[in-house]
Amino acid sequence: MGKWTKVLASVFGGLLAILVVGLIAINVYIGKSKPLIEGEVSVDFLDADVEIMWDVNGVPHITASSDADLYRAQGFVQAQDRLFQMDLARRQASGRLAEVVGAAAVDTDKTFRTFSLRNAAEASYDGYGEEAKKVLDWFAEGVNAFMEQAKNDGKLPYEFKLLGYEPEAWTPIDSLTIGKYMAYDLGGNWDSLAVRHWALNNFPEEQARELFVSYPDNAPSIIEANLKTPVEVAGRFNPDLVPHEFNGSNNWVVSGEKTASGKPLLADDPHLGLNTPSIWYQMHLQSPEQNVGGVIFAGVPGIILGHNERIAWGVTNVGPDVQDLYIEIPNPNDPTQFRYDGKWEQAEVRDETISVKGEEDVPFEVIVTRHGPIMSEILYKSQDPGALFSMQWTALEPTKELEAIMRMNKAGDWETFEAALEDFHAPAQNFVFAAVDGTIAYKANGRIPIRKQGDAQLPVPGDTSEYGWSGYVPYDELPKVVNPSEGFIATANNEVVDDSYPYHITKFWAQPYRYMRIAEVLRAGDSFTAEEMMDLQMDQANLYAREFLPDLIGSLKAADSEGKYSGIISMLGQWDQVDSPEAGAPLVFHKLMKQLPKTMFSNEMPEDVYKLMPGKGQITDQMLRDAYSGKPGVWVSNYGGVDKWVYDSFKTSIAEIEEQFGNNLSKWKWGDFHQLAFPHSLAAASPIFAYFLNPEKQAIGGSNVTVQAAAFKDDGTVNHGASWRFVADLSDLSAAHHIVGPGQSGHMKSRWFHDQAEDWAKGIYHETVLDGEVKDGYTLKLKAK
């Protein structure tokens, strides 16, 4: 026995030695591509020397003697930290992932080629002026300079080696395509149209009506068209590629009349996916022509959100109806022709053959009608579809957001800033603004269609000129507020107009609870500080529970005649309605509210249609309100009443909680379920990757309905929230307060890879300066040859 023990020990010892050597080699290889942040480097892409200083939080401060060198250096620095992210972003938006990851990405590529983001970027480029084209070229020069240097030195980011390819040269179209992807992520309503169309064709009209926010009673011809020409929806779309339902944000600006300093305060926290690396990259850009700091999407020049020395600004998503589905009738003898005003009209047919790593190319065509691309043939083609959906979308038109960004960065007052916004068309955003002169302002910005008929609640006939768009809401008539008497302006994707507004924006606003809480706090004070604005961004008060909890408890007590759940019901009744990670009641409440639509709808719809349906919370909220006011609708009545619906959902929720956390209520904690993750794009491929690339999960408070936005998946993983937090005090714009979770760098060996993950969870902000030297930082000088 001892002999074999020695043999095994020798074998495993040898394997361990090989493993150690292998790990050391891998570690050294990965470390080779670590971003350079100190010293001097001679480069041939600059006209003059550029200084880059990184502060202790990894924010690069770039100082250049011209805008040309500033944007070149911006591209170089972004590529150092985020090249793999930038490459994946342009590939996904362009429908070219399968080239590097294989057949698993083919359906994703089909979807994005159909959405035509890159085609829209190419059309937009043609409309840009010479100055903007130069900026795009300068930025691309910097990115390509880094790539060339990294290839020559064998220092490309390790992810490229893992996937076995090298990145192509960066182009201006790549930057614009990433911009179009953000319009895709923030500007969609086509899925709601498709689901309502399906509902009309699968439920009695009165039952389908309750799945609308506001039923289009005034448009019987549209309803009739949806019933007479049904389009297949189930099995046609991949709901996993639909942007996150809770893409939104908070922002507010407070007048100097309500602040301790006598100058305005501005706060902004855009809500997007929480990933490693962050969707945002924070930077400070300085040249003789501008001095601006804030964040930008990796792969794009300029600063989209932030401040300069005289103004600060932030955004939330307006969420207008900027997409329409058209019911198109194809020619039975030629599927590339579609009926329009009694004639067959030829559509554009684009060859979009998809290259697949290690496999044969996949033939694919995108068909584009006068309204836009055919959407409902993405997954497969029918022999005789009868009718198909095409989509018209503002972002597929030529737009000039980069020109707006360039002018915003250099604006010094509201007039010049508002003039810059006129070129910011997609996605439509609620801009809030503050200036050192004391001005506070708001404008809902972007192209918002004016329709000949209908209000974007249902697809419309595509075979006639009686429908479609007749133009856009005039720029000067978009919602706007300047220096209101109330002393503050706030938006949180809530309704921003009332019934007197003459144009249609949408009827599908976000749930109002975040806005209600922000307004409640801002109305209650008159001497606010920047610290209090940071505290408000981390506020966990749950006004959703404030509205519904008393009635829900009434239903539970009525149905729980034997008192089986009396302890849990009592816990809900004693809850302070704050989504604290230490409390047990938020766990019960949120599981219940997520279960209500599942109980009501999931067995009545195909799984993909249920997943595709947006606004489930808004729909069930209204069903609850109606039922508790004594007017239950068809769905609730058919189910057996509101008490039964709530109680059945409650029992399912409690069973899931008990299975995961046991029966001891005192040990139930929201934070044990509700956990922050920041997953890396490669982490799903292997537990080993996840171990090294994902930060450790953290218990956090808040939820999808609190100001501290932290939306979560069914397993409790927090995957969506304030991707960046920003507070500016206009009494001193030499610095502002930020959090970029989980960190600035996309390189796993960087000290700034995950250093802000805990800061994000705890609300620990860092200060970034615009003036003066960066303290305790690192300096890299790019020397022009």
* Per-domain residue ranges of the chain: 1-32, 248-321+401-452+474-537, 543-577+584-668
Mean per-residue pLDDT, 719-725: 95
Per-residue pLDDT band for 30 (boundaries 50, 70, 90) equals confident
Query: For residue 147, what are the CA distances in angstroms to 59, 468, 648, 655, 756?
Result: 21, 45, 58, 53, 27
pLDDT in tens, 389-443: 999 999 999 999 999 999 999 999 999 999 999 999 999 999 999 999 999 999 9
Is 482 in a helix, a strand, or coil?
strand
Q: What is the pLDDT of residue 13?
A: 47
Give the pLDDT confidence score for residue 467 in this predicted structure: 95
Q: What is the CATH number of domain 248-321+401-452+474-537?
A: 3.60.20.10
What's the whole-number average pLDDT of the chain? Answer: 93
Neighbours of 405 (CB within 10 A): 23
Cis omega before residue 60 (within 30°)? no
With tokens 């922050």, the residue in question is: 676
Q: Mean pLDDT over residues 539-562, rounded?
A: 97
Rounded Cα–Cα distance for residues 303 and 294 (Å): 6
What φ, ψ does residue 223 adopt, rounded to 5°?
-60, -45
Q: Name the token pair of 521.
A: 């706090």
Q: Parallel, antiparallel, or unpaired: how do β-strands 735-740 and 330-331 relate? A: unpaired
Report the range of poorest mean pLDDT among 434-443, 453-462, 665-674. Answer: 453-462
User: pLDDT: is 305 or 509 the higher one?
Assistant: 305
Whether 313 contacts 417, CB under 8 Å? yes
The angle, 0 to 180 degrees and rounded to 10, between the axes of the packed helices 172-186 and 130-153 is 110
- Reply yes or no on whether the pLDDT at 1 is more than 60: no
pLDDT for the residue numbered 689:
86
Residue 6's pLDDT is 45
**Range 550-564 average pLDDT:** 96
The one-character DSSP state at 683 is: G
Tokens of 723: 């991707």
What are the backbone dihedrals phi and psi of residue 722, each rounded to the nearest 5 degrees, phi first? -75, 95
DSSP state of 183: H
Query: Own/partner pairs for 526-532, CB < 8 Å, 24+ apart?
Result: 526/257, 526/258, 526/487, 527/258, 527/259, 527/260, 528/254, 528/258, 528/259, 528/260, 528/265, 529/259, 529/260, 529/261, 529/265, 529/729, 530/265, 530/727, 530/728, 530/729, 530/737
pTM (two decimals) = 0.94
The yes-or-no verdict on residue 17 having pLDDT over 50 is no
> Which helix H or strand E contains 208, and what residues bound it?
helix 205-209
Query: What mean pLDDT do residues 189-206 have?
Result: 93
Per the listing, tokens 């949806």 go with: 226
What would the mean pLDDT of 439-450 be, rounded to a whole number?
Answer: 97
Question: Could you tell me the sign of the dihedral formed by the alpha carbons of 495, 496, 501, 503, in that order?
Answer: negative
Question: From CA 364, how far away is CA 350, in angstroms rounded?
Answer: 9
Q: Please report the pLDDT score of residue 508 as a whole number.
A: 86
